[in-house]
Amino acid sequence: MELLRQRRTERGSADWFTGEVFLEVLLPARPGEVGLLLVRFAPGGRTHWHAHPQGQVLHVVEGVGLAQSRGQEARLLLPGDVVLFAPGEEHWHGAAPGRFMAHLALQGADPQGRTAYWGDPVAEEDYLRAAEEAGA
């Protein structure tokens, strides 16, 4: 058995997130293995567009959020929801306007240890339109 206890919460980088986002690495992703994070989003906080080489699984633990894949409608996220993103599927996710949201994120690392490929920020007008379309 291995017990991992020493963790700390870090602010999400402005290179990858818009707004206030906090990450806690529960299980570091090593090359060819999976990692687990607890991600907390303040109202309006969200990821930039990104994709994962091994795909990603999200489990919403609290709050109200949004997720959207490129070219698809945004989806409302509620506690208990599980979201599956296929390898290479470009997407973003975060809190709904005026709401906090937290999720667990499970993702694999490629042979070089990368878990995500980051793109452009989600424009504010696109975020607000997605929230309205999803009923947030």
Residue 27 lies in a domain: yes
Residue 74 lies in a domain: yes
What is the reported pLDDT for 17? 98
Range of the domain at 94: 20-134
What is the reported pLDDT for 56? 98
Q: Please answer whether residues 52 and 108 qualify as being in contact, where contact means their C-beta atoms are separated by less than 8 angstroms.
A: yes
* Helix (H) and strand (E) counts in the chain: 1, 13
What is the reported pLDDT for 84? 98
- Encode pLDDT of 82-119 as tens digits: 999 999 999 999 999 999 999 999 999 999 999 999 99
CA distances from 124 to 22, 27, 112, 131 (A): 20, 32, 33, 11
CA distance 23 to 28: 12
Q: What is the DSSP letter of 122?
A: P
Can you give the CATH number for the domain in which 62 is found? 2.60.120.10
Residue 6 lies in a domain: no
Residue 31 lies in a domain: yes
What is the reported pLDDT for 2? 86
User: Is the Cα dihedral 27, 39, 105, 55 positive or negative?
Assistant: negative
Structural domain count of the chain: 1
- Encode pLDDT of 26-54 as tens digits: 999 999 899 999 999 999 999 999 999 99
Confidence bin at 132 (pLDDT 50/70/90):
very high
